């Protein structure tokens, strides 16, 4: 294992975060704070408790997940797309590094940024609503698992995209709607049974449900199902990346 | 001595069906400067890309330092430094950071002394803290070379190293490349500047339409294919070449004031002495004469046209 190369890629990507601090960290924190002001304080104060939790508190895990999901995809897709766009990818491809090392470097950096962001948003949320985390280990486990899985998805999108429009298309047209409809702002149990069944096809439901359970011990689906489906999605992403590097898809041809 | 790079029956066909390389075989000797010439789209960059791991090969085998580029890619790639044709740089990084990143990427531990030496050799030391976006095109080109040299490679690929740089800087690059060769680095360069190959290369390869059409020692090539021209500036205008001089196949131009004679430097006799004697007998006097030798460019153009 070429740890020096992994470290080089990782630190290079993290350096980009510090250079673009405003965009990377501050901007998502501001927009999430606005969510709390609008949904938590303004509208939330008129909504009754959900399963014994105030609405403002209830939406915290969903909002954290919303940011982690979108930022993981955004960080990882841009991280690998940008070298392709400016041409510096030649250096990565010609270096004595394995595909696994490349993925660890890029995805590791993207996931780190998202996790940091998630924790910052969590801290920000604590300023607006009282927070109590029942299962800190599971909370961290879901955070890391989600950040890594969606960073892998972002990495795939970054390799697949051959222009900026494609780079934005899946996050904007698929992931964001799925996240909003995945129970970020409501419990799936609040939906009519028909819509509830449809919603259960949305993978984001399982992530948010599991993450919310780690906070308040309330969940739309069982913890085992949440963990199982998240791991399945992780495995699908890993297999796709393995195939990309094996064939050189959009990289070597 | 075994070649440092061995390319055997290499072919490359892209997904579109375009065949960029056809059964290319080539050995690069350790420590030489090898110039690969060819017109645009001949396959030069594809060949380099495959050897360096940027593109997949369709058929054939490539070894670098005895290591297969696929089966033993780590050992093969660690020997190579690549300076691509385009100026691909991280605009917002500093020179020091980007060169250090390249060293780390190749798995080499930090060595500030080596990075400092490379930057000083390339006259970049005073720019080490500048962001790349602030540098001129020539400096960016040198940063690319510094990145390629950061991990102390034994082989350096230079794809059009002096494209778009001014004459002074180009000569500076040649000096750098010469020093690298003196330090034992094998240099493979592609170039459009025939003068560059003529000036620096030990051996020359010509590629056209994906096929290697010639590999030869530069000196041998110049000897084998080099022809000379003798040009005579006449004292008096000549209406036509006299019949007695027809065997020499002279060309009369310059409004009848210039005679040109082509001869082979490798022939047993050049025919110059006889020509000058016959000119005197025919009463043709000249006021000046000069000889010119075909340049590598002429040879290159002739080869490519022959293959077209």
Per-residue tokens: B201:
């290369």
User: What pLDDT does residue A241 have?
Assistant: 87
Higher pLDDT, B140 or B79: B79
Query: How many other CB atoms are found less than 10 A from the CB of residue B306?
Result: 9
- Which residues of B are less than 8 Å from A91 in CB distance? 82, 88, 102, 105, 147
Per-residue tokens: A18:
């510090």
For residue B211, how far is the Cα from the chain centroid? 16
How large is the ipTM? 0.77
**Is A4 in contact with B104 (Cβ distance < 8 A)?**
yes
User: What pLDDT does residue B47 have?
Assistant: 92
CATH of the domain at B245: 3.30.70
User: What pLDDT does residue A85 have?
Assistant: 85
Residues B95 and B236 in one domain: no
B110: which DSSP letter?
A: P
Residue B190 to residue B161: CA distance in whole angstroms: 8
Whole-prediction pTM: 0.77
Higher pLDDT, B260 or B227: B260
Residue A190: is its pLDDT beyond 90?
Answer: no
Residues B24 and B100 in one domain: yes
Domain count, chain B: 2
Q: Could you tell me if residue B94 is inside a domain?
A: yes
**Is A93 in contact with B53 (Cβ distance < 8 A)?**
yes
State pLDDT tens for residues A132-141: 888 999 999 9
Average pLDDT for B216-231: 76
Residue B154 to residue B34: CA distance in whole angstroms: 14
DSSP strand pairing (B155-159 vs B80-83): parallel
User: What pLDDT does residue B160 have?
Assistant: 81
B289 bridge partner residues: B232
> Which of left, alpha, beta for B173 (phi over 0: left; psi -120 to 50: alpha)?
alpha
Residues B68 and B134 in one domain: yes
Q: Which residues does A174 contact at the CB level (< 8 Å), separation at least 6? A: none
Residues B163 and B283 in one domain: no
| A104 within 8 A of A6, measured Cβ to Cβ | yes
- Which residues of B are less than 8 Å from A79 in CB distance? none
Residue A157 to residue A84: CA distance in whole angstroms: 12
Q: Which is nearest to B54 in space by CA: B26, B90, B80? A: B80
Helix or strand or coil: residue B216?
Answer: strand
Residues B189 and B59 in one domain: yes
Q: CB-based contact (8 Å) between B15 and chain A?
A: yes
Burial class of residue A91, CB neighbours in 10 A (0-12, 13-18, 19+):
buried
B55 bridge partner residues: none
Residues B140 and B283 in one domain: no
SS3 content of chain B, % helix, strand, coil (to 5): 35, 30, 35
Residue A11 to residue A13: CA distance in whole angstroms: 5
Q: Which domain holds residue B120?
A: 5-223
Higher pLDDT, B223 or B155: B155
Distance linking the first and last C-alpha atoms of chain A: 26
CATH of the domain at B172: 3.40.50.300
Residues B63 and B165 in one domain: yes
**Is A96 in contact with B91 (Cβ distance < 8 A)?**
no
Q: CB-based contact (8 Å) between A30 and chain B?
A: no
Measured at the CA of B138, the angle between CA B4 and CA B177, to 5 degrees, comes to: 30
User: Of B165, B196, B223, which closes a domain?
Assistant: B223
Q: CB-based contact (8 Å) between B104 and chain A?
A: yes
Average pLDDT for B135-164: 85
Domain segments of chain A as ranges: 3-39+52-247
Residue A57 to residue B1: CA distance in whole angstroms: 74
* CA distance to A142, A188, B48, per residue, from A223 (Å): 11, 15, 52
Measured at the CA of B161, the angle between CA B155 and CA B164, to 5 degrees, comes to: 170
B215: which DSSP letter?
A: E
Closest A-chain CA to B102 = A91
Residues B117 and B259 in one domain: no
User: What pLDDT does residue A35 have?
Assistant: 80
Q: Could you tell me if residue B127 is inside a domain?
A: yes
Q: Which is nearest to B26 in space by CA: B42, B41, B4? A: B4
Q: CB-based contact (8 Å) between B305 and chain A?
A: no
User: Of B223, B245, B272, which closes a domain?
Assistant: B223
Q: CB-based contact (8 Å) between A99 and chain B?
A: no
User: Of B182, B204, B223, which closes a domain?
Assistant: B223
**Most distant CA atoms of chain A, gap in Å:** 59
Q: Which residue bears the tokens 């054939």?
A: B60
């Amino acid at each position: 294992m070429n740890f020096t190369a992994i470290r080089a890629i990782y630190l290079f990507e993290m350096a980009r975060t510090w250079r673009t601090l405003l965009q990377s960290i501050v901007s998502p924190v501001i927009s999430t704070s606005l969510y709390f002001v609008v949904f938590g304080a303004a509208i939330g104060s008129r909504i009754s408790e959900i399963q014994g939790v105030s609405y403002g508190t209830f939406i915290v895990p969903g909002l954290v997940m919303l940011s982690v999901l979108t930022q993981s995809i955004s960080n990882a897709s841009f991280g690998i797309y940008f070298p392709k766009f400016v041409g510096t990818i030649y250096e990565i491809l010609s270096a004595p590094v394995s595909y696994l090392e490349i993925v660890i470097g890029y995805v590791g950096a993207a996931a780190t940024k998202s996790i940091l962001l998630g924790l910052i948003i969590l801290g920000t949320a604590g300023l607006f609503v009282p927070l109590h985390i029942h299962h800190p280990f599971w909370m961290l486990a879901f955070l890391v698992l989600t950040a890594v899985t969606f960073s892998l998805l972002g990495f795939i999108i970054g390799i697949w995209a051959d222009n900026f429009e494609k780079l934005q298309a899946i996050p904007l047209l698929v992931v964001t709607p799925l996240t909003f409809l995945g129970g970020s702002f409501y419990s799936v149990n609040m939906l009519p049974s028909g819509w509830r069944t449809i919603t259960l096809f949305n993978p984001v439901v399982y992530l948010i449900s599991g993450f919310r359970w780690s906070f308040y011990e309330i969940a739309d689906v069982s913890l085992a199902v949440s963990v199982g489906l998240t791991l399945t999605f992780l495995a699908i992403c890993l297999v796709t990346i393995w195939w990309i590097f094996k064939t050189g898809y959009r990289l070597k041809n | 001595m075994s070649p440092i790079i061995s390319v055997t029956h290499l072919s490359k066909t892209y997904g579109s069906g375009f065949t960029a390389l056809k059964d290319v075989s080539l050995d690069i000797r350790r420590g030489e400067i090898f110039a690969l010439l060819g017109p645009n789209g001949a396959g030069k960059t594809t060949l380099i890309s495959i050897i360096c791991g940027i593109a997949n090969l369709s058929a054939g085998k490539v070894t670098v330092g005895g290591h297969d580029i696929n089966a033993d890619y780590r050992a093969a790639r660690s020997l190579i430094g690549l300076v691509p044709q385009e100026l691909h740089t991280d605009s917002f990084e500093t020179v020091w950071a980007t060169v250090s990143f390249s060293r780390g990427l190749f798995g080499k531990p930090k060595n500030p002394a080596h990075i400092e030496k490379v930057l000083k050799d390339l006259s970049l030391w005073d720019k080490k803290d500048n962001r790349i976006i602030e540098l001129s095109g020539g400096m960016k080109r040198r940063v690319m070379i510094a990145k390629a040299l950061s991990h102390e490679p034994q082989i350096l690929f230079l794809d059009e190293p002096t494209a778009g740089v001014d004459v002074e800087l180009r000569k500076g690059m040649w000096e750098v490349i010469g020093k690298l060769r003196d330090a034992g680095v094998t240099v493979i360069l592609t170039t459009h500047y025939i003068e560059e190959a003529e000036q620096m290369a030990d051996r020359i390869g010509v590629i056209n339409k994906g096929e290697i059409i010639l590999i030869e020692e530069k000196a041998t090539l110049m000897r084998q294919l080099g022809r000379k021209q003798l040009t005579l500036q006449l004292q008096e205008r000549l209406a036509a070449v006299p019949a007695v001089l027809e065997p020499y196949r002279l060309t009369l131009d310059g409004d009848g004031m210039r005679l040109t004679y082509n001869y082979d430097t490798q022939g047993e006799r050049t025919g110059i002495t006889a020509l000058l004697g016959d000119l005197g007998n025919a009463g043709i006097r000249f006021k000046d004469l000069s000889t010119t030798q075909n340049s590598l460019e002429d040879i290159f153009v002739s080869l490519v046209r022959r293959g077209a």
